[in-house]
Amino acid sequence: MEGNGLKRNLILFGPPGSGKGTQAALLNKHQGLEHIAPGDMLREHRAAGSELGNMASSYMAAGKLVPDEVIVGMIRQRLEHGPVGSGFVLDGFPRTVAQARALQELLAKIDRPLDLVVVLEVPTDQLVLRLSRRSGLEHREDDHPEVVTRRLAVYREQTEPVLAYLSDQVPVVKIDGIAPVAEVYANLLRVLL
């Protein structure tokens, strides 16, 4: 870990393929923010063949959202048992207004309120291109073209309203996510520091 050990609690928000995971990993590596990615956690459980992984598998393969209680429980466990005194970056969560409400309640209980929501903006045609490339490189079932189309539709229907809900409670900053990774990261640091 490098950097100054930022102690910010934030959400990286954006559609599938917008670069949330890449930027969250950079914030973890260089700024010490705990990277919490429910999608990665679910894939790990699935690969391990755990009960949670098996339960989530059918939802993920179809590009559907895993039930709130499963995701919120994982987030709660991770935040309660994570590094003391560090900030965190949520990547790919919350995806519904119900999850956002549950998250706000949880963070109030454990006294780790959100500081900021950062939206990575990327045009739809670029998202499809990125996800198609990722499907070939990482062999992820949820990045096949027909599943990508469904994931983007789910994002528009269920996840975009989360931003409206959170913007009433937490500052929201939008960043161009189409720029090169290093430039997006530099812009992200500018809003965090």
Mean pLDDT in residue range 137-163: 77
Which residue of the set 43, 46, 95, 130 is catalytic? Answer: 95
Q: Are 190 and 23 in contact (CB under 8 A)?
A: no
CATH 3.40.50.300 fits domain 9-184 = yes
Does residue 109 carry a catalytic annotation?
no
pLDDT of the residue at 2: 44
pLDDT of the residue at 70: 77
Does residue 29 carry a catalytic annotation?
no
Which residue of the set 140, 150, 156, 174 is catalytic? Answer: 140
Is it the case that residue 1 has pLDDT exceeding 50?
Answer: no
Tokens of 138: 């990482």
Q: Where are the domains of the chain?
A: 9-184
pLDDT of the residue at 60: 72
- CB neighbour burial string for 127-139, b if at least 16 within 10 angstroms, e if fewer: bbebbeebbeeee
pLDDT of the residue at 11: 96
pLDDT of the residue at 148: 76
Binning pLDDT at 50, 70 and 90, where does residue 117 land? very high
Does residue 150 carry a catalytic annotation?
no
* Residue-wise pLDDT tens digits, 155-169: 888 888 999 999 999
Mean pLDDT in residue range 114-128: 90
Binning pLDDT at 50, 70 and 90, where does residue 90 land? very high
Q: How confident is the prediction for the chain on average, in pLDDT?
A: 85
Q: What is the pTM of this model?
A: 0.81
- Residue 172 — φ and ψ, nearest 5°? -120, 130
Contacts of 190 (CB under 8 A, 6+ apart): none
Length of the chain measured in residues: 193
Which residue of the set 20, 43, 46, 130 is catalytic? Answer: 20
Look-up of token digits 């975009």: 160
Does residue 64 carry a catalytic annotation?
no
Does residue 134 carry a catalytic annotation?
yes
Rounded to an integer, what distance in angstroms lies between the CA atom of residue 2 and that of residue 31? 6
Is it the case that residue 40 has pLDDT exceeding 70?
Answer: yes
| Residue of 141 and 149 predicted with greater confidence | 149
The fraction of the chain above a pLDDT of 90, given in percent, is 43
